[in-house]
Chain A
């Protein structure tokens, strides 16, 4: 069953909506939105502090704790994770999974191995920000700003080998544009690895979500804009999809 996940991109103290990972728009407070999507029936919540890594800012743990407080569904949090103690702190304030990207790509990929050994693979999510380049995809970091010269498919296999339990796959090209997912990218990654892949970036309609699931069959779909702008609700998405593909009720 495909998980329907609400994704909050946070630039403290607000949830924002990046367009192409740039040009932020304020949406609301993380705890209010977390509660709203929980009440709508989200299977899970992703909370990404999108500026902590870029500006080397301390992740605002208090705010994450507040957002997690009223949720009785899995809660994944990330942004600016650089050490095992950052992981540990996130778990202690209520995260079930911790999301890492920049540090693992730029500094030390072995942090994935270490974290998986200590906290279990199921708790480690690697965020991959992919951008098309010369017929392939390149990994980006710092919210789609910095190139890494790592090939997305090579990196996806590597993080699986290192013990990641899940991949959050975002597309720098389609993010925030609401014109559909990069389904080719999603299919390639889903078929390549044997860990769950959650696909994000590009949902502009219920049809887009259905197409993604039919074409790529990811383990989860993470939705931001469609929900943030009240263009649909989790209930509507599930109702729509349930006619065609399997989602939980």
Chain B
């Protein structure tokens, strides 16, 4: 098996450089996906994400990426906004339809803490899975103002100022993490290695 990790390149801010570097550090081979035909060349998919829900969906549409992502049957990892857009609906800068691959909505974080939530936090695994193996007691870097509201596919929760939110999901071939493994030191590299090995 060739095992090439495709990284979806969309949007003007998409910080694909860091994700690519981190996957390579974990020992993976990468291919940056710039056109719909590139999806056929890869064995797994990472959807990175920096920016707003609305702009991200617009950019995916402009690149004709929506269909190929929805039809991709091999493992997909969504990171931060890349996980959020797997949901049905986003509420950032108005209501926007997401990829609709996970039964969830993306809403502003409501808590007493400073928003955006930025910094290292631990995760509490609620349903163990291969992606999170070996990083159960680790801390990951979060940088977000919105959270995924989901009840069925949660694999980990994180507490910020007494507010618990979804920090990882898993449904079939879909994996999502609210934190940035590419910015979470060795724990993040380990998680990416788990993804490569799936």
Contacts and interface: CB of A to CB of B under 8 A. Distances in A.
A20 interface: no
A129 interface: no
B116 A165 contact: yes
Contacts of B78: none
A194 B115 contact: yes
Contacts of A74: 141, 143, 180, 183
A123 B22 contact: no
A73 B145 contact: no
Name the prevailing secondary structure of the B interface residues.
mixed
Interface residues of B, number: 34
- State which size class the interface on A falls in: 20 to 34
A40 to B, nearest CB: 12
Interface stretch (B13-21, B96-104, B123-131, B149-157): B13-21
Q: Which of B22, B114, B139 has the most CB of A within 10 A?
A: B114
Contacts of A219: 114, 118-119
Interface string B151-191: 00000000000000000000000000000101111101100
B50 interface: yes
Contacts of B13: 88, 91, 118-120, 123
9 contacts: A1-B119, A74-B183, A94-B15, A118-B55, A119-B13, A119-B51, A193-B114, A196-B119, A248-B119
Interface of A: 1, 3, 43, 69, 72-74, 88, 91-94, 96, 117-123, 165-166, 193-197, 219-220, 248-249
Interface of B: 12-13, 15, 17-18, 21-22, 25, 50-52, 55, 81, 93, 114-116, 118-121, 139, 141, 143-145, 180, 182-186, 188-189
